[in-house]
Chain A
Amino acid sequence: MNSLVKKQRKFIVFAMLIPTILLIGFVLVPAVDLFRMSFTDWDGWSPTRNFIGIKNYLNMFKNKDLWLSLRNNAVYFFAHLIMIPVELAFAIMLNTKFRGYKFYRFMVFMPFIINGVAISYAFSYFFSPINGAFDEILTVLGLEGWIRNWLSDTKIVNFVLAFVSLWRYSGYHVTLFTAALQSVPQDMQEAARMDGANSWQMFRYIQVPSIALMVDFVLFDNIRGALQAFDVPFVMTQGGPGYASSTFTLFTINTAFKFSNFGLAATMAVALVFIIIIVHVIQNKLIHGLILKEEK
């Protein structure tokens, strides 16, 4: 018995120790180093780096192109936020067993498992001004007047890119919601039905509260994903024309690699962490406090 207890303890110690070491080595230490780097003028290759205090932070606040990029992130954020109820509705629909529901579930999830760069390339050709499929579709439908310079008109380019991002990531959210909905106890749902609850009441008072944790996760994932948007604008527009479709992460990467300013890029990365936390806290307050009117 003692031996078994010892083994259990050993197992628990190792099971805790290994992830802790990995976390310290691959998350905590780089995070501390990132924070330290944000106070230096390191260019990315010099053996030395000079401490320059909060100069990078001041420069970051003065950089109008960076804040323009952050504004572009907001387009992704709101586009995905608006889509979350739709994704939830899709999940509820796919949670019922109709003919071919497995096929539809797979089709919804498929864009997420395709390589993001490949998707972005495909959509580059889809929205191409010459021989582009989208313009051809509009022409066939007699909607030539709607044709625009989808990837170069600074007024619409971010919406086009956000659409591609939605195409790619919405299925992931639908799948998460579907998985969560499947874990809602059947007896609870049946009891509600017997009590006369209609579909809306089932959704509002049974299903949504039961998957609240997943909704929170998706909301957080939306903030994180929107603020870290990179692959779609990088491949489809290079952040251009100018900085019209640049995002915060794209700008950070260019600062580090194109302009050899790793110190300033580290500052932007630190700022991004805080922006994600702040937006998450505000969103949580708004959704739980005002919309769902939950009492803490």
Chain B
Amino acid sequence: MKKKLVALLLSAAMVLTLGGCGGTEGAAADSGSTVEGTGTEAVGEGTETADAENTDLSGDLVFAIYDNVLMTYIDENDMVGKFQEKYPNANIEVEKIKDDSEYWNSMKMRTSANQLPDVMINKTFTLSRFKDYLVDLSDLNSTANNEYAAGYAVDGKILGLPMVVNCNYVFYWKDQFEEAGITEIPDTWEEFKTAAKTLQDYYGKQNPDYMAIAMGAKDEWPDYPFMEFMPAAQGGNGQNWNDMAKTDTPFAQGTDINTAYHKIYDLFSSGVFGKDPLGLGNDQATALFAQKQAGMMVSGAWSLTAISEGAESTDNLGTFYLPVRDSESDPFNCVVQGDGFIGVTTHSKNPELAKAFVDWFMSEDWYGGYIQYCADDSTMTNSPKEKTPILAEADAAQPDVVNVMYDGGGDDFQAIQNEVTFDYKKLGAEMFTDGFDLDKRLEELDQSWTEARKTLNIN
């Protein structure tokens, strides 16, 4: 019995050892940057179309993403196979991370462990955080075709190509506006407030659960069109965060952020968000808006998919831009931002291949189809996109809109923000609570801001 047991253990050990050897060979082959399997299968087709210089590039790439829409498109359209048609010796592993919060946590960990993926996605506010770990993409063809990349250069380097450009819309139900007697699309902040109040008064009488503006403030982040973008829209200054870093008291009376936050507080505390916006998450709020339990919802173009899926019909769904201006003589500022900055990291073992991938990804071959699939607008001159009719209504309603290119804040701003623990989205959610004192909070923020600048030696 004992002998049998020993023999069994030895056999198992041999199998494991052989398996291990096999694995090592496989790994060695991989590390030698030649890919078998799917890569080889694609050689026949790929070599016919690929450039001679491109076929030389080989190796493995990890492409980390968080966007569900992008992941679905990649899966449905065999991105890996299509890239291998052009680069037969390349292999790509697409790593999908649950959501963007988890994505940044993961990237932060991987930065300190020198384990960043070859190709990563950034947002406006993470570009400067990762600037030391991103390769300059200035020499790519796609960079030349990207309308917005140069505007987001950090220290003169193009560290990522924005895949999409987006702005926020006020989605609204036209039939509810009509029934409540709102005949004009709001063109100023006061008109917007009045429209919200009219809706709340009209429908709130019949339905105590009604919300003139739906917002899942429990999740905090859905207040971003107000708390994050309104200070920039208020003064038409996309560099608002960076400018705030240059002063000791950026929240003082008369500043853009002070004015914008007072306007927001005024709106948030007026009861137009229904009986308890802090009790609802974004999914719930979106679903309720889709079911016409709310008259308006302020969000990005990406919300259109969820609204359309939840609504019986979108025949009466319309959009307009959030009017921040005080009077019609002021410019109608609308914050626009590049998003999904695709870039190559310095941790990549195959940086040339990674750059070739980014160039291919943003070319008509791949990007042309992707941009038509997602709700956002195109950043590439060679892959233009027409807006969907519902979103195009906003342009028709406000033809004189002035786009304000938004910057998420550079090093100095983020250092101060971390030191002060300034969380504008949380602050927005707090505005819904009883007894919230905005002036006191802004004063406290100014004091902390001054101290932080001193501590961090920022002038």
Q: Are A128 and B433 interface neighbours, CB within 8 A? A: no
Give complex CA distance A129, B278 in Å: 9
Contact with A along B106-130 (1 / 0, CB 8 A): 0011011000000000000000010
Interface pick from A183-191, A195-203, A234-242 = A234-242
For this complex, into which size category does the number of interface residues on chain A fall? 20 to 34
Q: Are A237 and B218 interface neighbours, CB within 8 A? A: yes
Contact with A along B131-162 (1 / 0, CB 8 A): 00000000000000000000000000000000
Specify which of A47, A152, A258, A259 is in contact with B218 (CB 8 Å cutoff).
A152
Interface pick from B31-39, B73-81, B280-288, B295-303 = B280-288
Residues of A within 8 A of B220 (CB): 238, 240
Q: Are B108 and A257 interface neighbours, CB within 8 A? A: yes
Q: Are A130 and B280 interface neighbours, CB within 8 A? A: yes
Q: Are A129 and B418 interface neighbours, CB within 8 A? A: no
Residues of A within 8 A of B284 (CB): 125, 128, 130
Residue on A nearest B219 in the bound complex, by CB: A238
Answer whether residue A44 sits at the interface, using C-beta atoms and an 8 A cutoff: yes
Residue on B nearest A46 in the bound complex, by CB: B112
Give complex CA distance A130, B434 in Å: 20
Q: Are B112 and A152 interface neighbours, CB within 8 A? A: no
Give complex CA distance A150, B280 in Å: 11
Give how many A-B residue pairs fall within 8 Å (CB-CB): 88
Interface of A is mostly: loop
Kindly provide the distance from the CB of A173 to the nearest chain B CB, expressed in whole angstroms.
29
Answer whether residue A284 sits at the interface, using C-beta atoms and an 8 A cutoff: no
Interface of B is mostly: helix
Kindly provide the distance from the CB of A255 to the nearest chain B CB, expressed in whole angstroms.
8
Residue on B nearest A259 in the bound complex, by CB: B418
Give complex CA distance A295, B418 in Å: 52
Contact with B along A165-199 (1 / 0, CB 8 A): 00000000000000000000000000000000000
Within residues 47 to 96 of chain A, which ones have a CB less than 8 A from any CB in chain B?
A: 47, 65
Residues of B within 8 A of A47 (CB): 112
Answer whether residue B334 sits at the interface, using C-beta atoms and an 8 A cutoff: no
Q: Are A152 and B108 interface neighbours, CB within 8 A? A: no
Answer whether residue A283 sits at the interface, using C-beta atoms and an 8 A cutoff: no
Answer whether residue B329 sits at the interface, using C-beta atoms and an 8 A cutoff: no
Q: Are B279 and A240 interface neighbours, CB within 8 A? A: no
Residues of B within 8 A of A132 (CB): 279
Specify which of A46, A241, A260 is in contact with B418 (CB 8 Å cutoff).
A260
Q: Which of B293, B414, B429 gathers the greatest number of chain A CB atoms within 10 Å?
A: B429
Contact with A along B387-415 (1 / 0, CB 8 A): 00000000000000000000000000010
Q: Are B281 and A241 interface neighbours, CB within 8 A? A: no
Q: Which of B275, B279, B281, B417 gathers the greatest number of chain A CB atoms within 10 Å?
A: B279
Answer whether residue B276 sits at the interface, using C-beta atoms and an 8 A cutoff: yes
Assuming the A-B contacts A130-B209, A130-B288, A152-B218, are A241 and B432 also in contact, with contact meaning beta carbons closer than 8 angstroms in the complex? yes
Kindly provide the distance from the CB of A98 to the nearest chain B CB, expressed in whole angstroms.
41
Give complex CA distance A172, B220 in Å: 33
Residues of A within 8 A of B434 (CB): 154
Q: Are B279 and A261 interface neighbours, CB within 8 A? A: no
Answer whether residue B68 sits at the interface, using C-beta atoms and an 8 A cutoff: no
Q: Are A151 and B218 interface neighbours, CB within 8 A? A: yes
Give complex CA distance A4, B433 in Å: 73
Answer whether residue B269 sits at the interface, using C-beta atoms and an 8 A cutoff: no
Give complex CA distance A237, B429 in Å: 11
Contact with A along B71-109 (1 / 0, CB 8 A): 000000000000000000000000000000100110011
Answer whether residue A39 sits at the interface, using C-beta atoms and an 8 A cutoff: no
Within residues 236 to 291 of chain A, which ones have a CB less than 8 A from any CB in chain B?
A: 237-238, 240-242, 244, 255, 257-261
Contact with B along A137-174 (1 / 0, CB 8 A): 00000000000011110100000000000000000000
Kindly provide the distance from the CB of B239 to the nearest chain A CB, expressed in whole angstroms.
22
Give complex CA distance A47, B274 in Å: 48
Assuming the A-B contacts A238-B218, A238-B220, A258-B423, are A129 and B432 also in contact, with contact meaning beta carbons closer than 8 angstroms in the complex? no
Give complex CA distance A180, B262 in Å: 60
Specify which of B276, B288, B423 is in contact with A149 (CB 8 Å cutoff).
B276
Q: Are A129 and B276 interface neighbours, CB within 8 A? A: yes
Kindly provide the distance from the CB of B107 to the nearest chain A CB, expressed in whole angstroms.
8
Give complex CA distance A127, B281 in Å: 12
Residue on B nearest A260 in the bound complex, by CB: B418
Answer whether residue A45 sits at the interface, using C-beta atoms and an 8 A cutoff: yes
Give complex CA distance A259, B414 in Å: 9
Q: Are B105 and A257 interface neighbours, CB within 8 A? A: yes
Give complex CA distance A250, B449 in Å: 24
Residues of A within 8 A of B263 (CB): none
Answer whether residue B193 sits at the interface, using C-beta atoms and an 8 A cutoff: no
Kindly provide the distance from the CB of A265 to the nearest chain B CB, expressed in whole angstroms.
12
Specify which of A45, A65, A124, A244 is in contact with B112 (CB 8 Å cutoff).
A45
Residues of A within 8 A of B197 (CB): none
Give complex CA distance A288, B104 in Å: 47
Q: Are A149 and B293 interface neighbours, CB within 8 A? A: no
Kindly provide the distance from the CB of A60 to the nearest chain B CB, expressed in whole angstroms.
13
Give complex CA distance A255, B419 in Å: 10
Give complex CA distance A132, B105 in Å: 33
Assuming the A-B contacts A130-B293, A151-B218, A261-B418, are A240 and B280 also in contact, with contact meaning beta carbons closer than 8 angstroms in the complex? no
Assuming the A-B contacts A128-B280, A240-B278, A258-B423, are A44 and B108 also in contact, with contact meaning beta carbons closer than 8 angstroms in the complex? yes
Residue on B nearest A63 in the bound complex, by CB: B421
- Contact sample, A vs B, 22 pairs, CB 8 Å cutoff: A44-B108, A45-B111, A45-B112, A124-B281, A125-B284, A128-B284, A132-B279, A149-B279, A151-B218, A152-B277, A152-B278, A152-B433, A154-B433, A238-B429, A242-B426, A242-B433, A244-B433, A255-B421, A257-B101, A259-B417, A260-B108, A260-B418
Report which B residues bind A (CB closer than 8 A).
Answer: 101, 104-105, 108-109, 111-112, 129, 209, 218-220, 274-281, 284, 288, 293, 414, 417-418, 421, 423, 426, 429-430, 432-434
- Nearest 4 A-B pairs (CB), nearest first? A152-B278, A129-B276, A129-B279, A45-B111
Since A130-B288, A238-B218, A238-B219 are in contact, a sample of 14 more A-B pairs with Cβ atoms closer than 8 Å, ordered by chain A residue number, is A43-B418, A45-B129, A124-B218, A128-B279, A129-B209, A130-B275, A130-B279, A152-B218, A152-B276, A240-B218, A241-B432, A258-B423, A260-B129, A261-B418
